[in-house]
Amino acid sequence: MGAMALRWYTVVVDSRDPSSLARWWAETLGWVIVFETDEEVVVVPSGADIAPRETLDDWLTEGQGLVFVPVPEGKTIKNRLHLDLAPHTTQDRDAEIAALLERGATHVEIGQSDAAEEEVTWTVLADPEGNEFCVLSSRNR
């Protein structure tokens, strides 16, 4: 890896209720909360090694986390960045989407219904605070 490379460390999510939204995403992803204050809640993959990394190569190969921070305003426009989630081919995609909806996700229309039905292989949802994300077609890589 090049010496000028930087690690993609986290995605920061503004939220009205960081604790609640962090827990929603932790459950959705099967991740865990590793740090929580009134100012931020950090969620990382289960089993992530959060020990210090001594070498650049080790540092650059670590995965990303999500950080939820408080903001006073609610979300008002479509996100310019969103997460894509994908079920494995052994999972029941429709059941996974139904479970997300039962936990507070909502369907979102961002223009995908304008495309031919066979071209739309993803479902657009929003988390409980309105942040869009997609559930892609089932896959194994």
- Is residue 130 in a domain? yes
Provide the edge-to-edge strand list for the sheet that holds 10-15.
Answer: 10-15, 65-70, 41-45, 31-36
pTM: 0.88
pLDDT given for residue 117 in this prediction: 60
Mean pLDDT, the chain, whole residue set: 91
Does residue 2 surpass a pLDDT of 70?
Answer: no
Shared-domain flag, residues 66 and 99: no
Using DSSP bridges, classify how beta strands 10-15 and 65-70 pair: parallel, antiparallel or unpaired.
parallel
Shared-domain flag, residues 62 and 15: yes
- Is residue 63 in a domain? yes
pLDDT tens-digit readout, 8-30: 999 999 999 999 999 999 999 99
pLDDT given for residue 3 in this prediction: 62
Range of the domain at 93: 83-135
- Number of domains observed in the structure of the chain: 2
Shared-domain flag, residues 65 and 94: no
Percentage of the chain modeled with pLDDT above 90: 71
List the CATH number of the domain containing 56: 3.30.720
- Residue 76: half-sphere exposure toward Cβ, Cα within 13 Å: 4
